[in-house]
């Protein structure tokens, strides 16, 4: 097991946002987390890397392999974030600081991990950018000088720089047009096959669940209402909320919802 979330709650002083959630993700697995806006998906995913503001209280245990992430101090979790667990966000523009070049973002990641040789940094940046289909000289550009698709490719390169065990992708294609989004997910799948990282994939798009996920969990009002294999949940949802979400996804209506009876390439 790569990630084990055990009885995790996220609370404000007055209410509970994530309510006693348990789930686990295996090595190399693409695990989707779905649910309506405000159900707590992002809060749960940010609890993993201790990204939540201190005004929110996190209870329970989160294990990455044998490492208890919940008990690490700020310095320790910072080393793990970027190396063993990485994030790709929807707001790719916000993931990059406007006044720093793409290369400077990579350098900062490397400095945290103790890679300070300028030559090594340069080589690794070039290699990382080329591995996601971007030219190495793009490192000298500022984020505003890249398209959304290029920025998301750079985010993937950054997220995979140290071959993490877990990549958390929070609605990473929402801000892209559907063709660019499709290419980005194909790239992520290819990189996952190369590195065997696990992916926690937060999405509202059931076509992406159908195409990429191995297993998924459905979240409602801070609780997981259903977890299981993709085909089981899509074709035989047990919970009324899951059924309602699937029925509301227009492109899933033809044939079996899991698409087992259709050609996959057709649908994205
Ligand atoms: N810093 C915060 N303090 C208090 N409540 C917060 C804070 N951040 C988010 N929330 C609340 O937590 C709830 C869950 O938010 P979260 O972003 O996890 O939902 P989500 O399922 O990821 O939604 P979406 O799919 O729209 O991204 C929301 O009601 C949100 O308003």
> Per residue in 92-103, is it b (16+ CB within 10 Å) or e — as a string?
beebbeeeebbb
Mutation test of ligand 1: which of 10, 11, 13, 43 has the most ligand atoms closer than 8 Å to its C-beta?
Answer: 43
CA distance 106 to 111: 9
CB-based burial of residue 246 (10 Å sphere; 0-12 exposed, 13-18 middle, 19+ buried)?
buried
Domain locations along the chain: 3-260
pLDDT, tens only, 59-72: 999 999 999 999 99
CA of 89 to the centre of ligand 1 (A): 15
Nearest CA to ligand 1 atom 1: 53
Domain 3-260 has what CATH class? alpha beta
The CA 12 to ligand 1 mean position distance, Å, reads 11
Q: What are the φ and ψ backbone dihedral angles of 55, each rounded to 5 degrees?
A: -70, -15
Of 8, 13, 40, the one to substitute when testing ligand 1's pocket (max ligand atoms within 8 A of C-beta) is 40
Question: Could you tell me the strand order of the sheet in which 30-34 lies?
Answer: 85-89, 166-170, 198-202, 30-34, 215-220, 223-229
Name which residue sits closest to atom 16 of ligand 1, judged by CA. Answer: 40
| pLDDT by residue, tens only, the chain of 268 residues | 999 999 999 999 999 999 999 999 999 999 999 999 999 999 999 999 999 999 999 999 999 999 999 999 999 999 899 899 999 988 766 678 999 999 999 999 899 889 999 999 999 999 999 988 999 999 999 999 999 889 988 999 999 999 999 999 999 888 888 888 888 899 999 989 999 999 999 999 999 999 999 999 999 999 999 999 999 999 999 999 999 999 988 766 556 667 665 544 443 3
Q: What is the pLDDT of residue 26?
A: 96
Is 153's C-beta closer than 6 angstroms to any atom of ligand 1?
Answer: no
Atom of ligand 1 nearest to the CA of 222: 14
Protein residue whose Cα sits closest to atom 2 of ligand 1: 56
What is the best residue among 9, 16, 41, 49 to mutate for testing ligand 1's pocket, by most ligand atoms within 8 Å of CB? Answer: 41
- How many A from CA of 78 to the centre of ligand 1? 23
């Amino acid at each position: 097991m790569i990630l084990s979330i055990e009885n995790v709650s996220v609370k404000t002083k007055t209410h509970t946002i994530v309510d006693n959630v348990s789930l686990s993700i295996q090595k190399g697995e693409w695990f989707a987390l779905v649910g309506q806006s405000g159900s707590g998906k992002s809060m749960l995913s940010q609890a993993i890397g201790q990204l939540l503001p201190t005004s929110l209280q996190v209870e329970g245990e989160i294990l990455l392999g044998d490492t208890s992430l919940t008990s690490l101090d700020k310095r320790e979790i910072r080393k793990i974030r970027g190396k063993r667990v990485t994030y790709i966000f929807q707001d790719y523009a916000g993931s990059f600081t406007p006044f720093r070049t793409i290369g400077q973002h990579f350098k900062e990641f490397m400095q945290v991990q103790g890679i300070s040789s300028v030559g090594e940094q340069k080589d690794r940046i070039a290699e990382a950018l080329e591995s996601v289909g971007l030219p190495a000289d793009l490192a000298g550009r500022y984020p505003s000088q890249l398209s959304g698709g290029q920025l998301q490719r750079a985010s993937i390169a950054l997220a995979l720089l140290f071959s993490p065990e877990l990549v958390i992708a929070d609605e990473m294609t929402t801000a892209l047009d559907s063709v660019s989004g499709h290419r980005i997910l194909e790239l992520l799948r290819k990189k996952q096959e190369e590195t065997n990282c696990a992916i926690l994939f937060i999405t509202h798009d059931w076509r992406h669940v159908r195409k990429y996920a191995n297993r998924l969990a459905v979240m409602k009002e801070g609780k997981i209402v259903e977890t299981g294999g993709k085909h089981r949940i899509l074709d035989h949802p047990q919970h009324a909320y899951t059924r309602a979400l699937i029925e509301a996804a227009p492109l899933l209506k033809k044939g079996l919802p899991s698409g087992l009876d259709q050609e996959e390439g057709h649908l994205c």
